[in-house]
Chain A
């Protein structure tokens, strides 16, 4: 896991983007297996996401992917958002992660879907 993209992940982990404020509608999601707890917020205008933010505690992977996701979502059309999958979260992180940690990587996506009233799974 500790390869080239780790620097970016560690940066997001230590200096998370769009952290701590609330916009639009928020949904809390947690991973009871390890204690990651995220509240992810999404604000939409018509057919687009215009802002996103998050807060919470968790491991480096869950927080970094939440941080990255907030940046990725800004300006995204809802139709494109609905196409986002687990694979996209892993690609976004840019590192290999073991099966157990995939849950950490998708936690923010699950929360984002719930915040938008979209279906999960």
Chain B
């Protein structure tokens, strides 16, 4: 099943060459229906939500809340627990900001974390005097031990899927272990939700963060999902209009969930676009997407492993980080760009992981539903050329 035709960007050629877009882990391309939903909203339905009494505003509010229901349903959560933010980064910042810890409490996270998860936790530790413990990975790219989680642990925060290695920690087991020790669990699901089915009830995590733009939706909108009891106890991260019940000169009280955490006018068009992305994904089904990516990844590794000095870093599941002998990832990336093949080179917002791997940067090709075997062939040809030019 080829979904590529639904994505208008692929009809664009640069220097007469088609685009081989292998950087979906950075951001995903958008189907026409998502683009149309956003412009359709602003053309026909635009009005501020939850505020107006006129019918246009009710329409807009209804579309927005329908979007919330779709997104909540996508992860098997409830509407009250599904908060729209600017993206996973803001969601993770909001949680870290609002969690109360004391000196000597421990926070456990992993060496694979994206800076969006890691840095807020570092700041939380610095602010409260809590200790930040880092779980290492083993030679198999999996977390090497959960022994780091003890009775002093109050917070465990892990990636659902590494944007460098593709590794998917067993977040269900980790959440259970966290709960056994009286700790709260957070999942940075930015990559995970885009590529695999996710059920927050099954995982039993306490918080989850993800972003629309990684999963066919527009940039500028994402989700903070949290268990109701915990969100009820948490202070808001942002204050302003739309999240209050009553305001006097010196004080204010908060609205109920989820509105308590949605200060200000939300990304209206963004949420509508995000909702359409969810519909698009649901039409295909996350199980089917998972299968498709598995096949494509396997094909890619078969082809790429034949290239001299190609070395896979990580699991190669939907995300293929690699090195090519001594050739610098930036040089590989620039050369591929001349063939209109887009990959990423750098630290991928995971500097501690790079240090742990003993390298400053990797090259990374990542897949989504619109990628094809032809694009992989172009990648392979480019890498062979890189070997010739730089080797």
Interface residues of A (CB under 8 A from B): 1-2, 10, 13, 32-36, 58-61, 98, 100-101, 104
A2-B389, A60-B390 known; 13 new pairs, CB 8 Å cut-off, are A2-B335, A33-B346, A34-B328, A34-B329, A34-B345, A34-B346, A35-B328, A35-B354, A35-B361, A59-B330, A59-B331, A60-B331, A100-B330
Residues of A near B345 (CB, < 8 A) are 34
Interchain CA distance A98-B331 in the complex, whole Å: 12
Does any Cβ of A come within 8 Å of B285's Cβ? no
Does any Cβ of A come within 8 Å of B123's Cβ? no
Residues of A near B98 (CB, < 8 A) are none
Does any Cβ of A come within 8 Å of B334's Cβ? yes
Q: Are A104 and B330 in contact (CB under 8 A)?
A: yes
Residue among B347, B351, B359, B389 making CB contact with A10, cutoff 8 Å: B389
Q: Are B338 and A34 in contact (CB under 8 A)?
A: no
Does any Cβ of A come within 8 Å of B241's Cβ? no
Contact pattern, B 342-354, Cβ under 8 Å of A = 1, otherwise 0: 0001110001001
Distance (whole angstroms) from the CB of B329 to the closest CB of chain A? 7
Residue among B330, B337, B389, B390 making CB contact with A34, cutoff 8 Å: B330
Instruction: Give the secondary structure class of B's interface.
Output: helix
The closest CB in chain B to the CB of A58 belongs to: B328
Interface residues of B (CB under 8 A from A): 328-331, 334-335, 337-338, 345-347, 351, 354, 359-361, 389-390
Instruction: Give the A-B contact count at a CB cut-off of 8 A.
Output: 45
Q: Are B360 and A32 in contact (CB under 8 A)?
A: yes
Residue among B328, B360, B361 making CB contact with A60, cutoff 8 Å: B328
Distance (whole angstroms) from the CB of A112 to the closest CB of chain B? 21
Interchain CA distance A101-B354 in the complex, whole Å: 20
Q: Are A1 and B334 in contact (CB under 8 A)?
A: yes
Residues of B near A60 (CB, < 8 A) are 328, 331, 390
Given contacts A2-B335, A59-B330, contact A35 B390 (CB under 8 A): no
Interchain CA distance A2-B329 in the complex, whole Å: 16
The closest CB in chain B to the CB of A100 belongs to: B330
Residues of B near A36 (CB, < 8 A) are 328, 360
Interchain CA distance A2-B388 in the complex, whole Å: 13
Residues of B near A104 (CB, < 8 A) are 330
Q: Are A61 and B330 in contact (CB under 8 A)?
A: yes
Interchain CA distance A13-B346 in the complex, whole Å: 20
Interchain CA distance A1-B360 in the complex, whole Å: 23
17 contacts across the A-B interface (CB closer than 8 A):
A1-B338, A2-B389, A10-B390, A33-B346, A33-B347, A34-B347, A35-B359, A35-B361, A36-B328, A36-B360, A58-B328, A59-B328, A59-B331, A60-B331, A101-B330, A101-B334, A104-B330
Given contacts A1-B338, A2-B335, contact A32 B351 (CB under 8 A): yes
Residues of A near B330 (CB, < 8 A) are 34, 59, 61, 100-101, 104
Distance (whole angstroms) from the CB of B236 to the closest CB of chain A? 35
Q: Are B361 and A34 in contact (CB under 8 A)?
A: yes
Complex A-B, nearest 4 residue pairs according to Cβ-Cβ distance, in ascending order = A35-B360, A59-B328, A59-B330, A60-B331
Distance (whole angstroms) from the CB of A39 to the closest CB of chain B? 16
Interchain CA distance A1-B329 in the complex, whole Å: 15
Q: Are A34 and B334 in contact (CB under 8 A)?
A: no
Interchain CA distance A61-B333 in the complex, whole Å: 13
Interchain CA distance A97-B290 in the complex, whole Å: 37
Distance (whole angstroms) from the CB of A44 to the closest CB of chain B? 31
Distance (whole angstroms) from the CB of A86 to the closest CB of chain B? 17
Q: Are B335 and A34 in contact (CB under 8 A)?
A: no
Q: Are B338 and A2 in contact (CB under 8 A)?
A: yes
Distance (whole angstroms) from the CB of A91 to the closest CB of chain B? 19
- Among B328, B330, B360, the one with the most A-chain Cβ atoms within 10 Å of its Cβ is B330
- Among B334, B345, B354, the one with the most A-chain Cβ atoms within 10 Å of its Cβ is B334
Residues of B near A58 (CB, < 8 A) are 328
Residues of B near A35 (CB, < 8 A) are 328, 354, 359-361
Residues of A near B351 (CB, < 8 A) are 32
Residues of B near A59 (CB, < 8 A) are 328-331
Residues of A near B389 (CB, < 8 A) are 2, 10
Interchain CA distance A111-B141 in the complex, whole Å: 37
Residues of A near B390 (CB, < 8 A) are 10, 13, 60
Interchain CA distance A1-B335 in the complex, whole Å: 8
Distance (whole angstroms) from the CB of A56 to the closest CB of chain B? 12
Interchain CA distance A3-B274 in the complex, whole Å: 42
Interchain CA distance A35-B345 in the complex, whole Å: 11
The closest CB in chain B to the CB of A2 belongs to: B338
Residues of B near A13 (CB, < 8 A) are 390
Distance (whole angstroms) from the CB of B342 to the closest CB of chain A? 12
Distance (whole angstroms) from the CB of B94 to the closest CB of chain A? 27
Distance (whole angstroms) from the CB of A33 to the closest CB of chain B? 6
